[in-house]
Amino acid sequence: MKIESQDLSGYYTYRSFLDNSLPVNDFNKIKVSEAELFLIVQLDGLVTGTLSFPAESGASEKTFMDITGTVKRWFPEITLEFEGQGRPNTTIFDFLYQYSGSVTRTWENGIGQRLSLTGTELRVKDHGSGDQTYKAGATASFVAVERDFVEPREINGVAIIPNALSMLASKSHRLKHAVWHTIRLYDIWWQILNETDKQKIRDLDWGLDRPPFTAGRALDLTNGAGEDFLFMHRKMIAMIKDIYKSEGVPYIESWKTLPIPSAQQFFYSEQEDPQNPGKKIYGFNPVESGYMIPPAYFISNGPESEQQDLEDLKFLKFLKSASYFTSVMRYLERQFKDPRKLSSFSLGELGNLLEFVIHNQMHMRWSSVPIDPDTGKPPINPQTGKPTGRGSFDFNKKWDNPKYDYLGDFYSSHVNPVFWRLHGWVDDRIEDWFNAHEASHPGEIERYEYKGVSWFRSGKWVQVSTPFYWPENHNHHHTGNDESSIENMLKVMEIIEKAIQRGQERTDVRFLARKQNFNIMSFMQDILTNP
Ligand SMILES: [Cu+2]
């Protein structure tokens, strides 16, 4: 297996030992240090990161050394050289060490071997004072073992609070989100469903009045479909906000700007050290944590799609790369915050562009390998023996486990803590849009309260007077009609599943969603530069 720069970025447990040539029996006698190593390795070989104490991830307080260096060589094994400097104004300000380490050989027949770096460290200058002086020139050997990615749901203060989580992870909420997005997929609406199917779906109150794509596969920027997207998610945000409010917990903060490629999973903020005036300590800050880019993963859709699945992996790696961020995503973010641009968009245009040119890609960028909550491991495709995801029409109860929060599946994405930060960013763009219009032509957009959320009356810049989110009280004869609506949503999914089976082509909702993301890439630049 070829190891790439992206694979090297992440957290490691770093351990160093004295090079004692005699047996010691007790390894503690040669222990120098244990620490947490965080590395960002870029394509051009730039290495940055931190070495921190104590080694526990998410410890409430840490001291840091900052790391800078380079990849010295890529062949025959990757070798990194970097320097670690204690942070100024902390108890380890005078630490200065050099490190040289290589990626340890991967055994072809090894089972569960972890990526690790082995190498040597050098104390570059004395630190400490008096009889606590540590002399320059001392060396030790080290092993740094890469850690598993820590899911945002596992991080204190990043995880969604229990009451909100159980609402979001319920079958009814999962189905609402899944049905809502699935019928809007281009292939589903325009190619797979026939008129009879569509009528049946309409009879179940889930008809799609405004598909986001035209029959010709272009984004429809004229019909207001984007308003449905923005309204529906604003409504979801309002629902979860209410639960936070009733619990007296401050609601999840949206991303003010998109997290940079080197974002850490555990972020530490500088504070005054109460014990040592003038010195700094670093405290764990959950608001800025949980935004690291999870590693890419392979999803097997079957033996006949092996090639396509590998292409998908390549594309996923691209979406997760630092260069995608710097060359595409950051550029798009600027466009979506630019008042000049925003004041020329209708609300529908804004929603449709946000959904398809940046929001979908954000979902994939921050997505982590989907797991089967029963095993904690990716489900295995029985035909290929390789990892796969939840089947799009598999509504087994196990997928309702809150641990199933894969950002790349409509059935689960909203259960992931990152979803709410990401959608907060999307939702904030609506306010930017309104302010941009107010600034350039005041009074042309009228705000009002619609179904409990702040919205906009239809007019020059707003096409739709009743944006769609999901059917309300379909069955008026029952109270607490959760069950009947679950039934209806399962019926809609069954209609879609049958329609897919009728076709010759191998298809899956996940596959169609992904395909749609890729197609978008080709023309998005064009739309944004020539509005
Ligand atoms: Cu959504």
- For 359-406, how does the pLDDT look when each residue is reduced to its tens digit (9 = 90+)? 999 999 999 999 999 999 999 999 999 999 999 899 999 999 999 999
- For 7-46, how does the pLDDT look when each residue is reduced to its tens digit (9 = 90+)? 899 999 999 999 999 999 999 999 999 999 999 998 889 9
- For 272-322, how does the pLDDT look when each residue is reduced to its tens digit (9 = 90+)? 988 888 889 999 999 999 999 999 999 998 898 899 899 889 889 999 998
User: How many whole angstroms from 263 Cα to the centroid of ligand 1?
Assistant: 24
- For 217-236, how does the pLDDT look when each residue is reduced to its tens digit (9 = 90+)? 888 999 999 999 999 999 99
User: How many whole angstroms from 81 Cα to the centroid of ligand 1?
Assistant: 43
- Note the residue count of the chain: 531
| Pairwise CA distance, residues 312 & 52, whole Å | 36
Percentage of the chain with pLDDT > 90? Answer: 79
User: How many whole angstroms from 419 Cα to the centroid of ligand 1?
Assistant: 9
User: How many whole angstroms from 230 Cα to the centroid of ligand 1?
Assistant: 9
Q: What is the DSSP string of 454-488?
A: EEE-SSSS---SS-------S-TTSSSTHHHHHHH
User: How many whole angstroms from 103 Cα to the centroid of ligand 1?
Assistant: 40
User: How many whole angstroms from 238 Cα to the centroid of ligand 1?
Assistant: 14
Angle, nearest 10°, between helix axes 195-203 and 482-502? Answer: 180
User: How many whole angstroms from 29 Cα to the centroid of ligand 1?
Assistant: 55
User: How many whole angstroms from 185 Cα to the centroid of ligand 1?
Assistant: 12
For 479, list phi and psi in degrees, rounded to 5: -100, 155
Q: Provide the terminal-to-terminal Cα distance of the chain, rounded to the nearest Å.
A: 45
| Contact in structure between 510 and 408 (CB atoms under 8 Å) | yes
Give the burial string for 33-47 (b: 16+ CB within 10 Å, else e).
Answer: eebbbbbbbbeeeeb
CA 176 from chain center: how many Å? 21
For 291, list phi and psi in degrees, rounded to 5: -110, 10
User: How many whole angstroms from 423 Cα to the centroid of ligand 1?
Assistant: 8
User: How many whole angstroms from 305 Cα to the centroid of ligand 1?
Assistant: 27
User: How many whole angstroms from 414 Cα to the centroid of ligand 1?
Assistant: 7
User: How many whole angstroms from 177 Cα to the centroid of ligand 1?
Assistant: 6
- For 126-152, how does the pLDDT look when each residue is reduced to its tens digit (9 = 90+)? 998 888 899 999 999 999 999 999 999
Residue 433, class by beta-carbon neighbours within 10 Å (0-12 exposed, 13-18 middle, 19+ buried)?
A: buried
